[in-house]
């Protein structure tokens, strides 16, 4: 089993789990510390508590990220060398590359959704004309960014792991060629020794005649 594929699977599945946790979390934004000191309460909001336009866009991006991460995990399991499903090594390499592409797309969707949500929060926070309740970045945003990074890293490793399958046949061919050359040399030297010893025996016989 390739170590690169194991690392990619760990990164990809770990990132997928982080995306699921971030999407289901209610801590996408939290009230500012100043307002919390006055009211002595903390207010959290997630993707499923508001129907604003930008939140719906972030919601769709995160759902797409989770869906792609799920299919990427399935493709990754089929593309692993240790599994019996997936066909030949060449077919498994293609499936692993496909899993890497899906993981990268999942990470990009999550990164875009979290960044869009964070941009809205910071814009409202630093806007002096915004008089409504202001919020700060919640823990779910950082979990979503971390999961997106893991998915992208795992996807890149999966895409580059296809080179390991391409190098394996070349190494075997070079090794077989080297053994054939060595065997031919030994046969040639053996023939020389046989030829050099024959004249000496004939010369000895003529000397006694």
The string of pLDDT tens digits covering residues 145-193 is 999 999 999 999 988 877 655 554 444 444 455 444 444 444 444 444 4
Average pLDDT, the chain: 77
The span from the CA of 73 to the CA of 103, in Å, is 8
Nearest to 160 by CA among 103, 202, 84, 209: 103
Q: What is the set of domains in the chain, with CATH numbers?
A: 3-166 (1.20.140.150)
Contact call for residues 68 and 109 (beta carbons, < 8 A) = yes
Look at the pTM and tell me if it is higher than 0.85: no
Q: How far apart are CA 189 and CA 168, in angstroms?
A: 33
Single out the residue of 5, 16, 30 nearest to residue 109, CA to CA: 16
> pLDDT for 99-149, tens place per residue?
999 999 999 999 999 999 999 999 988 888 877 778 889 899 999 999 999
pLDDT (tens digit, 9 = 90+) per residue, 3-53? 788 888 899 999 999 999 999 998 898 887 655 455 556 677 888 877 777
pLDDT in tens, 41-54: 667 788 887 777 78
Q: Which residues of 48-68 are buried (b: 16+ CB within 10 A; e: fewer)?
A: eeeeeeebeebbebbebbbeb
């Amino acid at each position: 089993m390739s170590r690169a594929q194991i690392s990619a699977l760990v990164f990809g599945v770990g990132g997928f789990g982080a995306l699921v946790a971030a999407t289901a979390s209610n801590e996408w934004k939290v009230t500012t510390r100043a307002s919390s000191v006055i009211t002595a309460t903390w207010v959290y909001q997630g993707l499923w508590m508001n129907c604003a336009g930008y939140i719906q866009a972030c919601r769709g991006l995160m759902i797409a990220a989770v869906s792609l991460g799920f299919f990427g995990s399935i493709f990754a399991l089929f593309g692993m060398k240790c599994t019996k499903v997936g066909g030949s090594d060449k077919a498994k390499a293609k499936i692993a590359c496909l899993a890497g592409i899906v993981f990268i797309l999942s990470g990009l969707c999550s990164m875009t959704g979290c960044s869009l949500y964070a941009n809205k929060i910071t814009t409202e926070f630093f806007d002096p004309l915004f008089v409504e309740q202001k919020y700060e970045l919640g823990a779910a945003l950082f979990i979503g960014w971390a999961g997106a990074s893991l998915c992208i890293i795992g996807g890149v490793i999966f895409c580059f792991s296809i080179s390991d399958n391409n190098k394996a046949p070349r190494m075997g061919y070079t090794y077989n060629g080297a053994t054939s050359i060595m065997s031919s040399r030994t046969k040639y030297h053996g023939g020389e020794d046989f030829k050099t010893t024959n004249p000496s025996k004939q010369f000895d016989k003529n000397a006694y005649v």
